A and B are shown apart, each in its own frame.
Chain A
C-alpha cells in the first residue's frame, strides 16, 4: 500500500515539476513579447513624430 502511494506521489511531483518548467518557458516568452511590443510602440512613436 505504502509503495503504491509512494510511486503515485513521485509521479505527481514529476508532473508538477515539468508543468512548472513549461510555465517557466511561457513566462520567459511573455517577457520577450513585452520587450518587443514596447520597442514596436517606440518605433511607431518615432515614426509619427518624424513624419
Chain B
C-alpha cells in the first residue's frame, strides 16, 4: 500500500533543496573572483545575477518551508538528492546562459548536468572565445560535482544534523570511509584538495616546459586537473587535449584521471595503513582485466585500419582515448569524427564497451562500475561451481573491497538490477539516435557516453541535435550518476503523490 506524502514532507524536501541551492551560490564566488582578477566585468555581472538568484531562492525556502522540530529521513534525503540536482542545474545554468554562448536554456542546462555529473559532453558554442570566469565555473562544476554537490552541502551547511547522513547515502556513494558521515565528507575533500595541489603542479610544470605562457598556463593547469581528476573531461579549448600537442600533458592528465577514477575508500586505505589494498581490491583487478581486454580489441581494430602504426601513436591516440573512456573521463586527443572514420568498427566498439563498464564505485566515475562487474563475474563463477559440485556442497563466493564481502542473492540481485538499468538507458539512447538517422555505432557510442558519464563523442552530440535526444541524454547523465536508487525513490514518491491513499497519513516518519 502506497501512502501519500504530507505537506510537511514536501516542505522538508523543499527546504533541503533550498540549502543545496545556497551551496551553489557560494561556489559561484570562485569564478566571480577569477572574473574580477581577469577584469571581465560583464562576466562578473553574470555571476552576480546567478549568486543573488540562488540566495533569493534559499531565503524563500527558509521562510516558507522550514518545518521546526522535524528532521530529514532517509527517503527525504533520496528525494533531495535527485530533485536537488535538477534544481541546481536550473540555477547553475544562469551564468552559462547569460554569457550568450548557448542557443537555448536547455543547452545551458545540458552543460550544467554534464558538469555536475562529470560527464563532459558540451553544448557550449564558440568555446575558444569564452571568459576565464566562465571557464572557471565550467571546470569547478566538475570538481565540485565529482565530490557531489550534496557532499558540499554536508560539509558546510548541514554539519552536525542527522539529516546529513540521509542525503549523502542517496548520492550514489554507499561506502563509509569513516563512521561519522561529516568526517567522511571532509576526508574526501582532504584527498581531493591534496591531489589538486600535487596534480595541478605536475600539469603546470609540463605546460611551462611545453611553451605555454605562465599566467594562462596556471589557469589551464588548474582547469585540466579539475577536468581530469573529476573524470569530467572538460578542457578550456575546443580541441580538448589535442590543443596542447604534448606527451607530458597527456601522461599527466592520464595519471590523474586514472587515479581519480579509483574508489575513495581505496584512496583512504592506501593513504593510511592498508597499502596492500592497491592490488587486493576487486575494482583495481576488474579495471586491469577489462582494460586489457579492451586494449586487445583496440589493437586488433587499429591493425586492420592501418592508422596509428607506431607504438607512441598507438599509446597517445589509442590507449589514451580508450582509458579516457574506460575511466569515464572524456578527455580526448583526436577530433570527434575520427572515432568513426579513423578508428573503425572494432576499435570504436572496444571504447563503447569500456565506457559502458566504467570506473570504480564511490568515485567520480560512471558506468556499471568495476565492483558490479566483479560481483556478477564472481557470482556466475559461483553458480558454475555449484553446478559441478555435489548436491550437499555449499558454494559461497566473496569479493575483496577494502574488506571481504560475501555474495548473497540479495546483493547479486540488486547489482544486476542496477546494471540492467544502465543497459536500458544506453539502449534507449542508442535506439533514439538510430531513429533520428544517425549511424548505429555513433548513436550507441554517444548514448553509452552519456549514460556512463564519460563525455567522449563520435560527433552526435552537438547543439544541433534533436531536442528530445538532448532531454534523454540529460536524463541518462542524471540517472547514471545517481545510480538509479535516488531516481527510483523520486519516481516512487511522485507515484505515491498521485495514487497514494490517505490524506493526512504520514509516509515518512520523522522525529517529533
**Nearest CB on A from B156, distance (A):** 23
Tell me the complex Cα distance, A31–B287, Å: 12
**Nearest CB on A from B272, distance (A):** 7
1/0 contact string of A24-41 vs chain B (CB within 8 Å): 110111011001101110
Contact A42-B295, Cβ < 8 Å, known A31-B278, A32-B259: yes
B2 CB-CB contact with A under 8 Å: no
B291 CB-CB contact with A under 8 Å: yes
Tell me the complex Cα distance, A39–B293, Å: 9
Tell me the complex Cα distance, A5–B254, Å: 44
Contact A38-B288, Cβ < 8 Å, known A43-B315, A46-B296, A47-B311: yes
Collect the chain A residues with CB atoms within 8 Å of residue B194's CB.
21, 25
B198 CB-CB contact with A under 8 Å: yes
Q: Are the C-beta atoms of B315 and A28 separated by less than 8 Å?
A: no
**Nearest CB on B from A49, distance (A):** 9
A20 CB-CB contact with B under 8 Å: yes
Collect the chain B residues with CB atoms within 8 Å of residue A47's CB.
299, 303, 311, 314
By secondary structure, the B interface counts as helix
Q: Are the C-beta atoms of B291 and A35 separated by less than 8 Å?
A: yes
Collect the chain A residues with CB atoms within 8 Å of residue B509's CB.
none
Collect the chain B residues with CB atoms within 8 Å of residue A50's CB.
299-300, 303
**Nearest CB on A from B284, distance (A):** 7
Collect the chain A residues with CB atoms within 8 Å of residue B279's CB.
31
Q: Are the C-beta atoms of B288 and A28 separated by less than 8 Å?
A: no
B275 CB-CB contact with A under 8 Å: yes
1/0 contact string of B311-341 vs chain A (CB within 8 Å): 1001100110001000000000000000000
Q: Are the C-beta atoms of A24 and B267 separated by less than 8 Å?
A: yes
Collect the chain A residues with CB atoms within 8 Å of residue B323's CB.
36
Contact A39-B311, Cβ < 8 Å, known A20-B272, A32-B258: no
For the A-B complex, the count of residue pairs with Cβ-Cβ distances under 8 Å equals 72
Tell me the complex Cα distance, A39–B350, Å: 14
Within B335-374, which residues are at the interface with A (CB < 8 Å)?
Answer: none
B195 CB-CB contact with A under 8 Å: yes
Contact of B299 among A27, A36, A38, A42 (CB under 8 A): A42
Within A6-32, which residues are at the interface with B (CB < 8 Å)?
Answer: 20-21, 23-25, 27-29, 31-32
B225 CB-CB contact with A under 8 Å: no
**Nearest CB on B from A4, distance (A):** 28
Q: Are the C-beta atoms of B311 and A35 separated by less than 8 Å?
A: no
Contact A43-B299, Cβ < 8 Å, known A35-B258, A38-B288: yes
1/0 contact string of B241-275 vs chain A (CB within 8 Å): 00000000000001100110010000100111101
Q: Are the C-beta atoms of A42 and B296 separated by less than 8 Å?
A: yes
Collect the chain A residues with CB atoms within 8 Å of residue B288's CB.
35, 38
Tell me the complex Cα distance, A43–B317, Å: 13
Q: Are the C-beta atoms of A39 and B259 separated by less than 8 Å?
A: no
B471 CB-CB contact with A under 8 Å: no
Complex: chain B residue closest to A35, CB-CB: B288
Complex: chain B residue closest to A46, CB-CB: B299
Collect the chain B residues with CB atoms within 8 Å of residue A46's CB.
296, 299-300, 303
Tell me the complex Cα distance, A50–B301, Å: 11
B292 CB-CB contact with A under 8 Å: yes
Complex: chain B residue closest to A50, CB-CB: B303
Collect the chain B residues with CB atoms within 8 Å of residue A24's CB.
267, 270-272, 275
Q: Are the C-beta atoms of A29 and B296 separated by less than 8 Å?
A: no
**Nearest CB on A from B273, distance (A):** 8
**Nearest CB on A from B328, distance (A):** 16
Tell me the complex Cα distance, A28–B291, Å: 17
Tell me the complex Cα distance, A21–B288, Å: 24
Tell me the complex Cα distance, A27–B292, Å: 21
Q: Are the C-beta atoms of A27 and B300 separated by less than 8 Å?
A: no
Contact A36-B319, Cβ < 8 Å, known A25-B198, A43-B311: yes
Collect the chain B residues with CB atoms within 8 Å of residue A25's CB.
194-195, 198, 271
Tell me the complex Cα distance, A32–B275, Å: 15
Collect the chain B residues with CB atoms within 8 Å of residue A27's CB.
270, 275, 278
Tell me the complex Cα distance, A50–B302, Å: 10
Collect the chain B residues with CB atoms within 8 Å of residue A23's CB.
275
Collect the chain B residues with CB atoms within 8 Å of residue A43's CB.
295, 299, 311, 314-315, 318-319
Q: Are the C-beta atoms of B319 and A28 separated by less than 8 Å?
A: no
Complex: chain A residue closest to B274, CB-CB: A24
Tell me the complex Cα distance, A7–B259, Å: 35
Residues of B at under 8 Å CB distance from A?
A: 194-195, 198, 254-255, 258-259, 262, 267, 270-273, 275, 278-279, 284, 287-288, 291-292, 295-296, 299-300, 303, 311, 314-315, 318-319, 323
**10 tightest CB-CB pairs across the interface, nearest first?**
A24-B271, A46-B299, A50-B303, A24-B270, A32-B258, A39-B295, A31-B278, A21-B271, A28-B259, A43-B299
Residues of A at under 8 Å CB distance from B?
A: 20-21, 23-25, 27-29, 31-32, 35-36, 38-40, 42-44, 46-47, 50-51
> 18 A–B contact pairs at CB < 8 A?
A20-B273, A23-B275, A24-B267, A25-B194, A25-B271, A27-B275, A27-B278, A28-B259, A35-B288, A36-B323, A38-B288, A39-B292, A39-B295, A42-B296, A43-B319, A46-B299, A47-B303, A50-B300
